[in-house]
Structure 1
Amino acid sequence: MHALVLFSVPMGIVAAFNPTAAKAIGEGMTNYLGALPEALYALFCTGYLGYTAARQWGKVKGVDR
């Protein structure tokens, strides 16, 4: 997700000079993200939620700072 935000500025510059190339790049990224299976998203979300819960638990217990 962070990569998409970071690439938005250069994509704006590309779009200013070559809108066709920017559209093709955007469509390619959309197709790539659309091809990822739902199970991969579920795995990432589960891992992220587990990590944040463990971090919060550690902070409450005083183990993590």
Structure 2
Amino acid sequence: MTPRRPAAEDPWVRRARPAFLYVMYALILWTIPMSLIAAIRPDVAIAMARGAGAYLNAIPEPLYALFGTGYLGYTAARAWGKAKGVER
């Protein structure tokens, strides 16, 4: 049995991971209504997919790089902390 970590004092830290997972769940579950729309009205589904693609293409490349750097940096720092025994 692994020991439990103490809960973070900061409420933003406590909600960060669950909030990210909820967003990912919503994106995955969005495929259900999209597949129904595609079955009934393929033209509408294509237009919605093009709109989503245009939105994602409008996000500047440096913002993607910033997110990737932060995500990978956090992951590396977390792994290093666990390897050194600083974090559990």
Partner of 2:30, secondary structure, is helix
For the aligned residue pairs, the C-alpha RMSD in angstroms reads 1.8
Matches within 5 A, 1:7-26: 7-26=30-49
TM-score by length of 1: 0.83
Matches within 5 A, 1:1-65: 2=24, 4-65=27-88
Work out the number of aligned pairs and report it: 65
Give, as a single letter, the amino acid of the residue that structure 2 aligns with 1:38.
Answer: E
TM-score by length of 2: 0.64
* Structure number with larger C-alpha Rg: 2
Q: Summarize deviations over 1:3-45 as a string: whole Å, max 9, x none.
A: 5434223211111111121111101001001111100011001
Gap runs ≥5 in structure 2: 1-22
1 or 2, which has the higher helix percentage? 1
The answer to which structure, 1 or 2, has the higher relative contact order (CA under 8 A, 6+ apart) is 2
Gap runs ≥5 in structure 1: none
